[in-house]
């Protein structure tokens, strides 16, 4: 598999001093380890109709969505003082299809745990997910904050200080579509088009909307994945407790997320958990973008998403 991936078009990120390479497969750029796992999943994964996929382009709110979905699903087993989320980072509570296939298959054999994460674009999802009519939750976020989040995450992964990783170059590459699972707009468009055809199995959530109105979005999420809150639960404040437990403030201050390491055994992709919890600030892009960048990215998004009702600016 490694040999095959090396034959795909390669892009070495200049702004990361070439420490990171993306490979292009089925029109999207990905990191070698995740691409190999994605191809393996395409070849062998057999979805169950009850599986629920939490799909996202990187840096759009994946970790938050995973925490919320996990807390919703396990609320009868655990409360906010016993939840595994207090000791395990959310991305390890829910396996990623393209990296943790064995765990997903173990869950199929040994439990009825339905949640699976993936960054794969819609067009690269294993066929069985689509033919089994599995439910899909897709989270997206405004492109400007994603560009900044993506910049810092990859910069930290490459262990480069900001002065050695020019933001302008990272911005240009992202806008050329050369980002992790990019082009970002095509990632969104793939799921968006699929939702038009199959609205009953695809739920779209927007990061900024979830920030503004977490209660109704968490309710929508719970209903969609088949674990709706009862009136008694609503009255007892269960939704608010889940929102509080999964908040950035709470999760980012937990020991595991401050000092733990994600995929610690895989030296190529191991990274400190704290890098998944940076600032979570809407509009942080204002600290990075020049007027020219704002104009360019707005034009790009107008051009790419004009046929949709999506607001990405």
Ligand X SMILES: Nc1ncnc2c1ncn2[C@@H]1O[C@H](COP(=O)(O)OS(=O)(=O)O)[C@@H](OP(=O)(O)O)[C@H]1O
With respect to ligand X, which residue has the nearer C-beta, 31 or 175?
31
Query: Per-residue x/- mask for ligand X, residues 129 to 148, rule CB under 6 A?
Result: ----------------x---
What's the min distance (Å) between Cβ of 128 and ligand X?
Answer: 24
| Residue with the two structure tokens 């309710």 | 219
- Among the listed residues 11, 76, 108, 119, the single catalytic one is 119
For 29, the token pair is 């750029």
Among 204, 248, 288, 289, binds ligand X (CB under 6 A): 248
What is the footprint of ligand X within residues 249-278 (CB under 6 A)?
251, 276-278
Q: What are phi and psi of 272, to 5 degrees?
A: -65, 140
Q: 13: number of CA atoms within 13 Å, CB side?
A: 32
The answer to whether residue 121 forms part of the interface with ligand X (CB under 6 A) is: no
Among 101, 280, 301, 305, binds ligand X (CB under 6 A): 280
What's the min distance (Å) between Cβ of 56 and ligand X?
Answer: 6
Among 212, 258, 279, 313, binds ligand X (CB under 6 A): 279
Size of the residue set binding ligand X (CB under 6 A): 24
Contacts of 265 (CB under 8 A, 6+ apart): none
What is the footprint of ligand X within residues 215-234 (CB under 6 A)?
none
Q: Identify whether 262 is a catalytic site residue.
A: no
User: In 3D, which of 277, 283, 231 has the Cα closest to residue 66?
Assistant: 277
**What residues are labeled active site?**
119
Q: Which residues bind ligand X (CB under 6 A)?
A: 56, 58-64, 67, 91, 145, 149, 152-153, 246-248, 251, 276-280, 284
């Amino acid at each position: 598999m490694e040999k095959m991936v090396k034959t795909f078009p390669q892009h070495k990120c200049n702004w990361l001093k070439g420490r990171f390479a993306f490979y292009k497969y089925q029109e999207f750029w990905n990191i070698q380890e995740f691409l190999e796992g994605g191809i393996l999943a395409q070849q062998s994964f057999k979805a169950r109709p009850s599986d629920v996929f939490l799909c996202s382009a990187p840096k759009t709110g994946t970790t938050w969505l995973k925490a919320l979905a996990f807390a919703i699903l396990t609320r009868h087993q655990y409360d906010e003082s016993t939840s595994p989320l207090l000791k395990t980072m959310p991305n390890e509570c829910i396996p990623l299809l393209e990296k943790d296939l064995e765990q997903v298959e173990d869950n199929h054999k040994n439990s009825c745990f339905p949640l699976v994460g993936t960054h794969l674009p819609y067009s690269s999802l294993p066929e069985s997910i689509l033919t089994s009519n599995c439910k899909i939750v897709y989270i997206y976020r405004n492109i400007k904050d994603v560009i900044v989040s993506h910049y810092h995450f990859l910069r930290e992964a490459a262990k480069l200080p900001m002065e050695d990783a020019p933001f302008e170059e990272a911005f240009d590459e992202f806008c050329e579509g050369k980002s992790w699972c990019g082009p970002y707009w095509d990632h969104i468009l793939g799921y968006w088009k699929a939702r038009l055809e199959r609205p009953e199995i695809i739920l779209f959530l927007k990061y900024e909307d979830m920030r503004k109105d977490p209660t109704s979005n968490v309710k929508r999420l719970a209903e969609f994945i088949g674990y709706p809150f009862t009136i008694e639960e609503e009255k007892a404040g269960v939704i608010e407790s889940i929102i509080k437990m999964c908040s950035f403030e709470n999760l980012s201050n937990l020991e595991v997320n401050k000092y733990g390491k994600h995929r610690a055994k895989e030296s190529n992709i191991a990274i400190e958990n704290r890098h998944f919890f940076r600032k979570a600030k809407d509009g942080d892009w204002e600290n990075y973008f020049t007027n020219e960048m704002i104009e360019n990215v707005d034009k790009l998004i107008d051009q790419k998403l004009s046929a949709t009702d999506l607001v990405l600016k």
